[in-house]
């Protein structure tokens, strides 16, 4: 039976809770990812921020007025001020079907993988889709992550 460790992306790309909104947006874009686990100074998971979260925050602060941009007011805020603090996590040994159920139940696209209190990876809906393709369509050598 497939486990999370077989399909997760590792190492996890994480962001410090002091990172600003523009820095997080840039990191997501440059890394081609849609979610960032947020860690404190000790490297402990304290939250998560997604591309959707950032877009929502940015859109709510955009003005049509040419010389006035309220977005600048939030540009210096750290991720800890708007991250989601309750984060679903999974373990590397968890069966992959259990992870799929977590994603469905929580209505989320991915979760950090945690072992012994440390973030060791991330598993996403894209990873699960890759598994389905490899197992059921037989395109194992044709589809790889695009990161």
Domain containing residue 33: CATH number: 3.10.580.10
Please indicate, yes or no, if residue 54 is contained in any of the structural domains. yes
Q: How many domains does the chain have?
A: 1
Distance (Å, rounded) from C-alpha 21 to C-alpha 82? 9
Please indicate, yes or no, if residue 43 is contained in any of the structural domains. yes
**Is 69:58 a contact under the CB 8 Å cutoff?**
no
Please indicate, yes or no, if residue 24 is contained in any of the structural domains. yes
Distance (Å, rounded) from C-alpha 23 to C-alpha 35? 13
Please indicate, yes or no, if residue 144 is contained in any of the structural domains. no
pLDDT of residue 5: 94
With helix as H, strand as E and coil as C, how does 10-68 read? CCCCCEECCCEHHHHHHHHHHHCCCEEEEECCCCCEEEEEEHHHHHHHHHCCCCCCCCC
Please indicate, yes or no, if residue 34 is contained in any of the structural domains. yes
Confidence (pTM): 0.78
Kindly tell me the burial class for residue 31, based on how many C-beta atoms sit within 10 Å of its own C-beta (0-12, 13-18, 19 or more).
Answer: exposed
Please indicate, yes or no, if residue 145 is contained in any of the structural domains. no
DSSP type of residue 110: E
Distance (Å, rounded) from C-alpha 25 to C-alpha 66? 22
Question: Which region among 101-105, 113-117, 126-130, 134-138 has the lowest average model confidence (pLDDT)?
Answer: 134-138
pLDDT digits (tens, 9 = 90+) for 25-62: 999 999 999 999 999 999 999 999 998 888 777 554 44
Please indicate, yes or no, if residue 111 is contained in any of the structural domains. yes
Which domain covers residue 47, as residue numbers?
A: 4-137
Please indicate, yes or no, if residue 48 is contained in any of the structural domains. yes
The dihedral over CA atoms of 71, 79, 7, 142, expressed in degrees to the nearest 10, equals 20
What is the band of 63 on the pLDDT scale with cuts at 50, 70, 90?
very low
């Amino acid at each position: 039976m497939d486990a999370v460790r077989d399909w997760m992306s590792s190492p996890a790309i994480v962001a410090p809770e002091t990172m600003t909104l523009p820095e997080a947006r840039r990191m997501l874009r440059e890394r081609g990812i849609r979610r960032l686990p947020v860690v404190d100074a000790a490297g402990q998971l304290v939250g998560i921020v997604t591309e959707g979260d950032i877009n929502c925050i940015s859109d709510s602060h955009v003005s049509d007025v040419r010389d006035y941009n309220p977005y600048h007011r939030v540009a210096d805020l750290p991720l800890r001020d708007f991250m989601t603090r309750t984060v679903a996590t999974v373990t590397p040994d968890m069966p992959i079907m259990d992870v799929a159920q977590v994603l469905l139940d929580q209505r989320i696209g991915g979760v950090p993988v945690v072992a012994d209190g440390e973030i060791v990876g991330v598993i996403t809906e894209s990873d699960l889709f890759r598994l389905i393709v490899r197992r059921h369509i037989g395109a194992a050598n044709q589809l790889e992550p695009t990161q």
